[in-house]
């Protein structure tokens, strides 16, 4: 059975809808629009940087994506504004079921790890300043290998930290591209489909699809009976 469960961060553990909490100087509709474009541009830049093999730290990439989102909304800004707005990514809210979910997983003697495209300066404020930080055993950043997910090198980082067989590791993400990458690497995968969407099939399918992390715990309980 699984000896470690590795979670993605953004959208899986931390709710990207809470990004707007740090955009409270804008009206609600504009804040939502900026946040959505900021996140989508962040991902677009990430994939393009990976294809071009032009790695930059995720913090730099995220700030560039923010500048584009503000330009598109014709918002005037300076470097101080970028620094202040970027803080929204350091104060995301975790999904409320997480403490109980992580507690149940730890009760099964399963290690909990995180693998993220973010660098440590973005990851550690979220982990260290939240209730769930105490449950997380290992925090892994692709900055160590300078390869963004879904590259093979990024998922191989898990095997560097965990001396386990691939079938002893379960990978969990709310992002279908991330699930596809981890499955292609050889991990069993869980897709968290909170939006009840169709899976964007690209050669791999998740081992299981659930609508919440609570459902993941129920599935694990059946596996461990």
As annotated, the active-site residues are 8
Distance CA 73, CA 44 (A): 18
Helix, strand, coil percentages, rounded to 5, for the chain: 55, 15, 30
Q: How far is CA 216 from the centre of its chain?
A: 17
Q: Are 223 and 108 in contact (CB under 8 A)?
A: no
Distance CA 166, CA 161 (A): 12
**Which positions ≥6 away from 147 have C-beta within 8 Å?**
50, 55, 153, 154
Distance CA 6, CA 122 (A): 18
DSSP secondary structure string, 56-92?
--HHHHHHHHHHHHHHHTT----HHHHHHHHGGGGSP
- Residue 46 corresponds to which tokens in the numbers above? 């990430």
> Which DSSP symbol is given to 119?
-
Distance between first and last Cα of the chain = 11
> In terms of residues, how long is the chain?
225
């Amino acid at each position: 059975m699984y000896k470690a469960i590795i979670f993605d961060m953004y959208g899986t553990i931390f709710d990207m809808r809470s990004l707007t909490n740090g955009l409270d100087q804008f009206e609600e509709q504009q804040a939502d629009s900026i946040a959505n474009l900021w996140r989508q541009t962040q991902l677009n830049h990430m994939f393009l940087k990976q294809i071009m093999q032009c790695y930059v730290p995720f913090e730099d990439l995220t700030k560039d994506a923010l500048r584009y989102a503000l330009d598109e909304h014709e918002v005037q800004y300076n470097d101080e504004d970028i620094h202040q707005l970027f803080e929204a990514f350091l104060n995301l809210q975790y999904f409320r079921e997480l403490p109980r979910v992580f507690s149940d997983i730890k009760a099964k003697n399963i290690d909990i790890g995180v693998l993220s495209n973010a660098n440590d300066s973005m990851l550690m404020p979220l982990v260290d300043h939240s209730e769930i930080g105490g449950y997380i055993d290992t925090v892994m950043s692709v900055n160590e290998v300078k390869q963004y997910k879904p590259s093979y090198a990024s998922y191989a980082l898990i095997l560097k930290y965990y001396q386990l067989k691939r079938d002893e590791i379960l990978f969990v993400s709310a992002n279908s591209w991330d699930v596809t990458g981890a499955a292609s690497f050889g991990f069993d995968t869980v897709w968290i489909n909170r939006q009840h969407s169709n899976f964007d099939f690209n050669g791999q399918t998740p081992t299981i699809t659930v609508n919440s992390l609570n459902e993941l715990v129920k599935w694990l309980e059946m596996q461990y009976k």
